[in-house]
Amino acid sequence: MHGITRRKFLIGSAAGSASLLAASYVNFDAWASREKIQGEVKVTPTLCDACGNWCAIKVHTRGGRIWKAEGIPLAGNNRGRMCAKGHGFLHEVYNPDRIKSPLKRVGPNKFEPISWEQAYKEIGTKVRAISEKYGPGSLFWVSHPQANVQLTQRFMQALKSPNVFSHGSTCFMPRNIGWWLTVGQAKPSMDFENSRMIVLVGRNPAGGMNLGHLRSMTKGRDRGAKVVVIDPRYSEAASMANQWIRIRPGTDLALMLALANVMISEGIYQKEFVEEFTEGFDEFAEEVKKYTPEWAAEKTDVSKQTIVTLAHELAAAAPRAIIHRGYHGAMGTQYKNSLQLVRAVGCVTGLLGNFNQRGGMFFSPKPKLGALDKDAHPNPPRVPGPMADGTGDMERYPLVPRGQGMTQAIPELAIEGKLKAGFVYHTNPLRTVPNPARVIEGYKKLELLVGFDYVLSETASVCHYILPESFYLERDDVIYTNQSVKTKQVSIRQPTIKPMYDTKPLLEILSGMAEHLGIGQYFNFTLDEMNRASLKPVGVTLEQLRKEGVVDLGHEWKPGPPRFNTPSGKLEFVSSILRDYDLPAVPTWEEPLVSPDPKDPHSFRMIHGKQAYHTHTRTCNQPYLMAITTINDAARVWIHPDRAKALGLKDGECMTISSSVGSGRARCRISEGIHPDCIFVPSAYGVFSRHLTHAKKDGGQGGFGFGISYNDFLPTYFSPVLGHAMVNEIVVKVEKTYA
């Protein structure tokens, strides 16, 4: 085996399917005896928080110490599975870098422990003063969009600020809005297991992990469905598929329009469905006449024959044919034309007539949770007006709902003096937002920045105060309703061990601050009271949910005539909302914002993507997960052999990569599995917090200063219609490094 040990081989060969990997890499029994983990075994169901999937897991402790975990089979999110990140992150509870009490920054990168009471008092005084001086609109909150969002909205509303930002404009925004415009819901679900054809357009659920989707896709494939992956890169999902279509990045829209052209011109679409359940077909049909497969072949670098065959195969499999609804890849915040792409995918889906059909797309049944009694626990009044970035009130980017905002707008608003004080919860904008120099400048300009994290991330390192939330294995959170499943499900995150340090769950921290902010009356309840109120209408007790972790409420989705929550009540080929705003109402070809110069051997588009064993920027300090990277030499940047040859690069050699905003060095991975127009950057690397000791200690080998981050090369963009960050619209210069 070329000198690789069997253990290394197991790790390497499993890298593509990280759920297998954990089993071969982490031998819990051996580990437990080595670490002298003994004593009483306790098993607690809860939700993983190593990424946003929130898989339901059972955590085993021995003698009060985390021992191991496994997936809960009932949970639709993960169907009994757990990935490498989920296993690796369990160890983070014992990470010596953890923040052990509230901290106050007393100098650059210097922190002093303080008591909760002092933190609440000082933050309360400062927030009040800033709010009085500049108005409550100068306060903001930015967080992960699903983490305790009810509580954070309530807190900011009580402070009379409309400014709640999420990371949506750097993740999923066009996907959500495109589907909402077309079918009336942001995230339609998919019945992969009964499908005959599954097409993934810039979606890689085996890397950008979704264990539930992966499980039902493989089930569908094993029952005979053809799986096609459209990606400029041979992704992990491509390695599981029947066909990989290597597309030129940024051009999937052309491919979708051509699929529609073929289906309509040959009359091979689902006519009855189109007749009964869609709106605007004639106008769409007229528009796509010009998008012939020949035209699309030119744009996409996919042959005419491949396009025509794909259209024929989809039509033959319809209505049991699915084009995945997308996430961050092509249909997310990556391109200027991503919104048009999602609209086009929605329209092709209309031609396939697959909505609410077996093996097609459907709307998951969602449990309707209850709320706290309003008399005893009054809601703060709604705050009028748009957010500081102009979103959320029809002023700027009118399609963007309130509570999302543009996270990449925050630094500029701080520099302009419109934002003065912020709360950063469960997010790390210094690493995850484009143009870090500007982001750092902006965040440092704030008069007050309060962070909530469990380690001193890059962002936490510039905060004035850090309030350590108890880690996910130590805390309760608000009730969660599982998404994308066929039945109604509720689940719960709850403590599996006692908090190791002086940390608290979010509601307790907010309540503590609220007292000093004069808004205590809005936080006069406990999380248990809130969760009991949530569960009341669904007939589940908190005790039952704590015991079982996930409760399935039935109400299984049934195929039948679809109902769309759009203005017309139909699937809209012509979007009435886009028309109202004078925007292209039928999907129309739109060029990417930038394109590499075909004559320049140094010119490349930079694309990026997830690896199965890392989550965004938060796992580079985790020794087990970083070991997977180092053993597989996986932080390298992919480049096509022909392009590498022209630059005189051999596999593993160093490249200097530069753009108008930044430059960096990375070693290359030469691979046929990447379109020659682009380089591919794995998206987890480029740590620079001095307080993450594993990442730092490993120097050139492990994490710190290791690999690059795509954000370092990106200017701060706002797409014209939605304002999303267009994170793949970047052409970089690549040179061989002669050092």
Ligand X SMILES: Nc1nc2c(c(=O)[nH]1)N[C@H]1C(S)=C(S)[C@@H](COP(=O)(O)OP(=O)(O)OC[C@H]3O[C@@H](n4cnc5c(=O)[nH]c(N)nc54)[C@H](O)[C@@H]3O)O[C@H]1N2
Residues that bind ligand X (CB under 6 A): 49, 51-52, 85, 144, 167, 170-172, 201-204, 207-209, 230-233, 235, 247, 249-250, 252, 327-330, 332, 334, 425-429, 431-432, 452-455, 457, 469, 471-472, 607, 609-610, 612, 614-618, 683, 709, 711, 728
CB of 170 to Mo ion, least distance (A): 8
Taking phi over 0 as left and psi of -120 to 50 as alpha, with beta for the rest, 419 belongs to beta
Whole-Å CA distances, 25 to 82, 83, 210, 444, 484: 14, 12, 21, 41, 30
Residue 248 CA to residue 604 CA, distance in Å, equals 12
- Contact (CB, 8 A) for 657 and 664: yes
In the set 16, 45, 76, 86, which binds ligand SF4 (CB under 6 A)? 86
Of the candidates 50, 199, 406, 478, which one interacts with ligand SF4 according to CB under 6 A? Answer: 50
Nearest residue to ligand SF4, by Cβ distance, number only: 86
CB of 205 to ligand SF4, least distance (A): 10
**Subset of residues 380 to 419 that bind ligand SF4, contact rule: CB under 6 A:** none
Beta partners for residue 57, in sequence order: 46, 71
Structure tokens at 151: 């509580």
Residue 549 to residue 551: CA distance in whole angstroms: 7
- Asked whether 534 and 145 are in contact (CB, 8 A), the reply is no
CB of 322 to Mo ion, least distance (A): 21
Minimum CB separation from ligand X for residue 202, in Å? 3
Q: Residue 367 or residue 676: which is nearer to ligand X going by CB? A: 676
Rounded to whole angstroms, the Cα distance separating 485 from 557 reads 9
DSSP 484-507: S-SSEEEE----SS--SSS-B-HH
Work out whether 343 is an interface residue with Mo ion (CB under 5 A): no
Residues 6 or more apart whose CB falls under 8 angstroms from that of 108 comprise none
Residues 564-603 that bind ligand SF4 (CB under 6 A): none
- Strands 663-670 and 550-554, sheet pairing: unpaired
Nearer Cβ to ligand X, position 139 or 455?
455
**CB of residue 423 to Mo ion, shortest distance in Å:** 21
Q: Which amino acid is at 373?
A: D
Which one of 54, 140, 179, 363 is in contact with ligand SF4 (CB under 6 A)?
Answer: 54
- Which CB, 187 or 736, lies closer to ligand SF4? 187
Q: How far is the CB of 328 from Mo ion (least distance, A)?
A: 5
For residues 245-258, one letter each, b for 16 or more C-beta atoms within 10 angstroms of the residue's C-beta and e for the rest, the string is bbbbbbbbbbbbbb
Beta bridge partners of 704: 687
The distance of closest approach from Cβ of residue 469 to ligand SF4 in the complex, given in angstroms and rounded to an integer, is 17
| Binds ligand SF4 by CB under 6 A, chosen from 11, 48, 262, 342 | 48
Enclosing H/E stretch for 164: strand 164-166
> Could you say which of 17, 53, 534, 689 contacts ligand SF4 (CB under 6 A)?
53
Torsion of CA 502, 507, 452, 466, to 10 degrees: -50
Q: What distance in Å separates the CA atoms of residue 274 and residue 169, rounded to the nearest whole number?
A: 32
By rule CB under 6 A, what string of x and - marks binding of each residue 189-228 to ligand SF4? --------------------x-x-----------------
On whether the CB atoms of residues 620 and 685 are closer than 8 A, the answer is yes
Among Mo ion, ligand SF4, ligand X, none, what binds residue 454 when CB lies within 5 to 8 Å by partner kind? ligand X
Choose between 208 and 592: whose C-beta lies nearer to ligand SF4: 208
Positive or negative, the CA dihedral 659, 202, 230, 300 is negative
Report the partner that residue 48 touches, choosing among Mo ion, ligand SF4, ligand X, none (CB closer than 5 to 8 A by kind).
Answer: ligand SF4
State in angstroms the smallest separation of the CB of 142 from ligand X: 9
Nearest residue to the partner ligand X, using Cβ: 208
Rank residues 214 and 649 by Cβ distance to ligand SF4 and give the closer one.
Answer: 214
Q: Using alpha carbons only, give the angle 405, 406, 410 rounded to the nearest 5 degrees.
A: 110
Q: Which is closer to Mo ion, CB of 432 or CB of 435?
A: 432
> Which sign, positive or negative, has the C-alpha torsion 548, 553, 559, 565?
negative
Restricting to residues 64-83, which ones interact with ligand SF4 according to CB under 6 A?
78, 82-83
Q: Is residue 171 close enough to count as binding Mo ion by CB under 5 A?
A: yes
Tell whether residue 90 is a contact of ligand SF4 (CB under 6 A). Answer: no
State CA 93 to chain mean position distance. Answer: 23
Q: Which of 594, 593, 634, 597 is nearest to 612 (CA)?
A: 634
Tokens of 45: 């169901």
Pick between residue 414 and residue 612 the one whose CB is nearest to ligand X.
612
Choose among Mo ion, ligand SF4, ligand X, none what residue 708 binds, the Cβ cut-off being 5 to 8 Å by kind. Answer: none
With CB atoms as reference, the residue minimizing the distance to Mo ion is 171
Around 642, how many Cα atoms within 13 Å sit in the side-chain half-sphere? 9
For residues 302 to 341, the per-residue mask of contacts with Mo ion, x marking binding by CB under 5 A and - elsewhere, is --------------------------x-------------
- For residue 551, the cross-strand partners are 490
Residue ranges in contact with ligand SF4 by CB under 6 A? 48, 50-51, 53-55, 78, 82-83, 85-86, 209, 211
